[in-house]
Amino acid sequence: GAVVSQHPSRVICKSGTSVKIECRSLDFQATTMFWYRQFPKQSLMLMATSNEGSKATYEQGVEKDKFLINHASLTLSTLTVTSAHPEDSSFYICSARDVGHEQYFGPGTRLTVT
Amino acid sequence: AQKVTQAQTEISVVEKEDVTLDCVYETRDTTYYLFWYKQPPSGELVFLIRRNSFDEQNEISGRYSWNFQKSTSSFNFTITASQVVDSAVYFCALITGGSYIPTFGRGTSLIVHP
């Protein structure tokens, strides 16, 4: 099946710094990518939907200035957590949707803010 | 609006027992897709099955089987002869034909003891 990668898989950063997470579709073009956040023992919560070449659509309650999403190409979307704080520590998962509307999930990135 | 309910938060069984994970969904769309994903401790979402709303046939894949009942809006998942490696969180998800954005249930944590 199609493969979606995320980098890094784990990151630890200090409070106040920014962290960038990459999501790549390796063998298909993804017109749409999704970013999810998952707190321990909880479900996946959709943060935003990003379409290639246009601004991301954020879900209610998600700060767009804090979670910057860029979808510059059909195979790459990035999520930047700006001025990270300990409460931003979470598991971030991306998914990519192909032209047939099949959706493939990345392996996730575990962010720890100290 | 769509909704997925996984009423079982945690299930604990002993190896070789059969176990059924429940999933009840709500949607007004007539075209929709139901999914099951497995999330082991590593965090990566593993796709298990997709079923569309027009196909009510039950499916069996090895020790896994799924029972789709439109009359009760349920898509239950049974693991036969459970193994320790089945220990994970299992998510049921719904995609409707309109949005193609999945709605996840809260997940059921399955613990299989040796």
Bridge partner residues of B22 (DSSP): none
Mutate which of B8, B45, B51, B95 to test chain A, going by most A C-beta atoms within 10 A?
Answer: B45
CA distances from B75 to A38, A66, A88, B57, B93 (A): 23, 37, 34, 11, 10
Residue A113 phi, psi (nearest 5): -110, 120
- Kindly tell me the burial class for residue A54, based on how many C-beta atoms sit within 10 Å of its own C-beta (0-12, 13-18, 19 or more): exposed
pLDDT over 80 (residue A13) = yes
Token pair recorded at residue B90: 């299992």
Tell me what pLDDT residue B20 has: 98
Contact A80, A65 (CB under 8 A): no
Q: Side chain identity at A60, as an amino acid letter?
A: Q
Per-residue pLDDT of A48-103, as tens digits, reads 999 888 889 999 999 999 999 998 899 999 999 999 999 999 999 999 988 777 78
A8 and chain B: CB distance < 8 Å anywhere?
A: no
B95 and chain A: CB distance < 8 Å anywhere?
A: yes
Q: How much of chain A, in percent, has pLDDT values that exceed 90?
A: 77
Question: 60-79 in B: which are within 8 Å (CB) of A?
Answer: none
Strands (E), chain B: 3-5, 10-14, 19-21, 24-26, 32-39, 46-52, 59-61, 64-69, 74-79, 88-96, 103-104, 108-113
Contact A36, A95 (CB under 8 A): yes
User: What band does B78 get if pLDDT is binned at 50, 70 and 90?
Assistant: very high
Answer whether A43 sits within 8 Å of B100, measured CB to CB: no
Answer whether A105 sits within 8 Å of B44, measured CB to CB: yes
The two most distant CA atoms of chain B are separated, in Å, by 44
Q: What residue in B sits closest to A92 (Cα-Cα)?
A: B43
Q: What residue in A sits closest to B6 (Cα-Cα)?
A: A43
Contact A14, A111 (CB under 8 A): no
Q: Side chain identity at B13, as an amino acid letter?
A: V
